[in-house]
Amino acid sequence: MNTFFDASSLVRGELKTLAPYDAPYFPEAVKLDANENPYGFPPGVLRKIFSEIGSRDFARYPDPRAERLRESLADYTGVAPENIMVGNGSDELILNIMLTFGAGAEYVVTPPTFSMYGVYGLVASASRVEVPRLADFSVDMESLKRVAGSRGVKVVIICNPNNPTGTATPPDEIEGLLAGTNAVVVVDEAYVEFGGETCIPLLARHPNLIVLRTFSKAFGLAGLRVGYLLAGRSVVRELLKVKQPYNLNAFSQTAARVVMENLPLFRERIEKILAERERLFSGLSGLPGVEAFPTRANFILFRTALPAKQVYGGLLERGVLIRNLDGPMLRRCLRVTVGTAGENGLFLERLRGVLADRN
């Protein structure tokens, strides 16, 4: 046995600083930390998925091109199938975008934003350039345009609506950015179904745009890992070189397609989430020492007078799991996912308890 072997000595310097992704796991808690859909999957849709999947499907490799799913996505988005690529969650697509375009170059993010961009950028050996958001969490578009126009920048990522702040960026502002850069501009629309404005109409005029979507939030398929992107032909051609042939398994391809064929059921759930979001927002805003930020997604960012760690821990002790986002850009901030009416009521009641218990 080689007792001198040290795997960490074999990896790149940047990887040494990276910690494996670890999500807190409290199966008993009310789970309002990951922006998932709180309503169980519609039983009728589940039955359809099972009846469409034959046992044969598991012995054969899945369709590498996911033709049928891409066709239903074409109906849903109005974008041609050849401009659509599917992924094992949009996480995989972010990594592939970084590997294809970002490796060895610069990519730009607008923090505070989704933390996985940074992880995949680092894994792909891309260098991060940050253009921080303004005090109201809107994108500093003038600075972003300037940075995105510089030669070393190959990828710009805007999360819209933004996780974790809930802020929307108007598509016409994004169009100004697209016109002034030769980098690919990724607009991550993971939450667009909750009231964001899509950049899809810009695809026809801007070959450097990538619109990124997921089934994990509005469509309740987080466990099956399905994401997709919409882009011009030349961008898709490059990305297909990097994509693993069988990245999306047969079960998930079928499930996502059946979801697309039953949209009204999911629209109903989205409407319920939007109504609950308003209730949760006014509930939060009405609490002393709490400031809630306006949101266009299925979560709410809020700031408390108490240290965020104390609020997070107090809620967890009371059986409610949310996200603590405290950091230099989000002082004393936490994020709560809009749950069912029962879950939101419970969260507000427990939060009231934590705030009252401050000494």
Ligand X SMILES: *Cc1c(COP(=O)(O)O)cnc(C)c1O
Binding site for ligand X (CB under 6 A): 35, 89-91, 114, 159, 163, 188, 190, 214, 216-217, 222, 227
The CB-of-75 to ligand X minimum distance in angstroms stands at 20
Core vs surface per residue 334-359: b (16+ CB within 10 A) or e = bbbbbbbeebbebbbebbeebbeeee
Compute the least distance from the CB of residue 35 to ligand X, in Å: 6
- 232 close to 207: Cβ distance less than 8 angstroms: yes
Question: Residue of minimal CB distance from ligand X?
Answer: 89
**Which one, 187 or 250, has the nearer CB to ligand X?**
187
We find the least distance from the C-beta atom of residue 289 to ligand X, in angstroms, to be 27
Q: Between residues 130 and 142, which has the closer beta carbon with respect to ligand X?
A: 130
Peptide bond into 164 cis (omega under 30): yes
Tell the smallest beta-carbon distance from residue 147 to ligand X (Å).
20
Pick 62 or 283: Cβ nearer ligand X: 62
Shorter beta-carbon distance to ligand X: residue 91 or 326: 91
CB-nearer residue toward ligand X: 62 or 314: 62
As a whole number of angstroms, the distance between CA 339 and CA 33 comes to 10
User: What kind and span of H or E run contains 337?
Assistant: strand 333-337
Cα(45)–Cα(50) distance, rounded to whole angstroms? 9
**Among 190, 172, 184, CA closest to 236:** 184
At its nearest, how many Å lie between ligand X and the CB of residue 95?
10
- Integer Cα distance of 129 and 148 in angstroms: 10
